[in-house]
Amino acid sequence: MFSNLLADAVLLVHLAFIVFVVFGALFVFHRRWIAWIHLPMVLWASVVNLMHWYCPLTPLEKYFRAAAGQTGYEGGFIAHYIVPLIYPQGMSYDMGVAIGIGVLAWNVLLYSLVTYRAHFGN
């Protein structure tokens, strides 16, 4: 039971990480210091997707699922939980690269707007 709760907690932390990577720059509009937390997370998420690595949270969740007697899943967190919602046929290598580039491009756009606002007013 406790292992199941830990697995679910890791899943929620992982999901919160992804949401913050995608939308965290919006918080930077109001509190610029958040960029010091957000930018390293964006770089990590982009590299993980571009290099097709697994985030350390993925094996941690799988470990707790196995300890709880549940069957694990193959692949990474995004491929298992998020891609089936968007692309039911699965995630290809090119899609992983596109996600990595997309995360970077989206955040470059948002940080450009933050910089513009900082230099040219509200």
Give the CA distances from residue 113 to residues 26, 107, 110, in Å, rounded to whole numbers and listed in that order: 10, 10, 5
Pick the closest to residue 87 from 71, 98, 73, 103 (CA basis).
98
Residue with tokens 């679910």: 8
Q: What is the mean pLDDT of residues 38-47?
A: 91
Q: Can you tell me the distance from the alpha carbon of 18 to that of 82, in angstroms, rounded to the nearest whole number? A: 10
pLDDT for 97 equals 81
Q: Can you tell me the distance from the alpha carbon of 99 to that of 93, in angstroms, rounded to the nearest whole number? A: 10
> What tens digit of pLDDT does each residue of 27-41 get?
998 899 999 999 999
pLDDT for 36 equals 96
Split at pLDDT 50, 70, 90, the class of 15 is: confident
Q: What burial letters (b/e) apply to 90-109, b meaning 16+ CB within 10 Å? A: ebeeebbeebbeebbeebee
Percent of the chain with pLDDT over 90: 25
Question: 110 or 49: which carries more pLDDT confidence?
Answer: 110
